[in-house]
Amino acid sequence: MDITDELEIFTLVAETASFSAAARRLNLAPSSIARVLDRMEARLGVRLLLRTTRSLTVTPEGAAYLSCARRILTDLRETEQQITDQSSPRGRLRVSSSLLYGRTFVIPLLGEFIQRYPDILVDINLTDTVVDIAAGQADVAVRLGPLPDSSLTSRWLGATHKVIIAAPSYLARRGTPQVPEDLLDHDCIGFNFKRAAPTWPFRKDGHDYSLTIKGHVETNNGDTQGQLAAEGIGIARVCAETVADAIQAGRLVPLLEAFNPGDGEEIHAVFLGGTHTPARVRCFVDYLVERFQ
C-alpha cells in the first residue's frame, strides 16, 4: 500500500468518523483500516485520531495532516484529469484551411465529426494565409500544394486538378480562346500572393511550358476567383472540384482542356505529431483521412 492509499484511507476515516463506514466504502475489513492508521501514527510519531469504543475524533495534528492530505489528493486528481483529457477526444480543436477548399470540402464534414465527438469544440479558421502551426496558431491545417521541409507531421488526403474557366457572358463579350497564347488578349484573374508566380502551365505537342498571364483583377483566394469568373469579369484557373457544380449548371465553361497539363495539388493534413499529440487532433486527422479516401 503506497502513501496515496494511506491518505485516501485516513481522509475517509476522518470524514466519516468511523472505521466501519470507511471499510464499507473501500471494501476492506475494519481491522485492515485500523492497521493502516496504526502504521501511519507510528511513522509520524503522533496521534492522528482519538479512538474510543463510542467515538472517533481528529487530533490537532490529525487536522493539520487531514488538510494537507486533502490538498495532495485534490492536486493528484486534477493532474490525472488533465492527463486524461490529453489522451481522450475533448477540448478545443483549432482547424485552418484555405477559404475555397474549407467551404467546399471541410465544412460539409464537420457535422458528422461533431456528432461522433461531442466533447470537442471545433474552432475553424478559413484563410488562404499559411498559419504557423509550430507557433501554436492552429492544431491542424488542411493544405494544398507542395509542403516545405519542416518538423511537422503530414497525412495525405488526396489531390485536386486545375481547370481554366470563364462565364458564358464573358466569352460572348470577349471571345473564346482557342490556344493558350490567346489568353494574352484576355483578362486573367490572378493571385496577389508574392509567392504566386503569374504564370499558368500548359502542354502542347507533348511539351510543357508556362505562359505569363495578366488582367485587371487579383485576389488572395480561389473562392473569390471563381466568383469573379462567374460574374463575367475574367478567366480564372481554379481547383476543378470546387467549380464542378457551376460547370454542370452552365454558369461556367471549361477552356483549353486540350492543353491542360493535368497538374494538380496534393492535399495534406498538417499537425504537430509525436507521442504527445492530443487525442482530439489524432481523431480529427484520422476522420479526414477516412472521409477523403
Residues 161-202 have pLDDT tens digits of: 899 999 999 999 999 999 999 999 999 999 887 655 689 999
Quickly state the pLDDT bin for 220 (edges 50, 70, 90): confident
DSSP 247: H
Strands 264-271 and 120-126: unpaired
On the question of a common fold for 3-87 and 89-293, the answer reads no
pLDDT of residue 293: 73
Report the distance separating Cα 9 and Cα 19, nearest Å: 9
Q: Distance between alpha carbon 238 and the CA centroid of its chain, in Å?
A: 25
pLDDT of residue 82: 64
Report the distance separating Cα 80 and Cα 99, nearest Å: 39
> In the chain, what are the domain boundaries?
3-87, 89-293
Higher pLDDT, 84 or 44: 44
pLDDT of residue 242: 83
Q: Could you tell me the sign of the dihedral formed by the alpha carbons of 25, 30, 31, 33, in that order? A: positive
Report the distance separating Cα 244 and Cα 241, nearest Å: 5
The set of cell numbers assigned to 238 is 481554379
Quickly state the pLDDT bin for 144 (edges 50, 70, 90): confident
Q: Looking at 146-150, 156-160, 202-206, which range is the least confident one?
A: 146-150
Q: Left, alpha or beta for 71 (phi > 0: left; psi -120 to 50: alpha)?
A: alpha
**pLDDT of 257 over the 90 cut:** yes
pLDDT of residue 86: 60
Please give the angle made by the CA atoms of 81, 82 and 88, to the nearest 5 degrees: 80
Could you tell me the fold of the domain covering 3-87? Arc Repressor Mutant, subunit A (1.10.10)
Report the distance separating Cα 200 and Cα 152, nearest Å: 30
pLDDT of residue 1: 64
Where does 89-293 sit in CATH, by number? 3.40.190.290
**Count of other CB atoms within 10 angstroms of residue 21:** 16
What are the E-state strand segments in 22-109? 49-51, 56-58, 91-97
Amino acid at 51: R
Report the distance separating Cα 133 and Cα 135, nearest Å: 5
3 state DSSP class of 44:
helix
Higher pLDDT, 274 or 218: 218
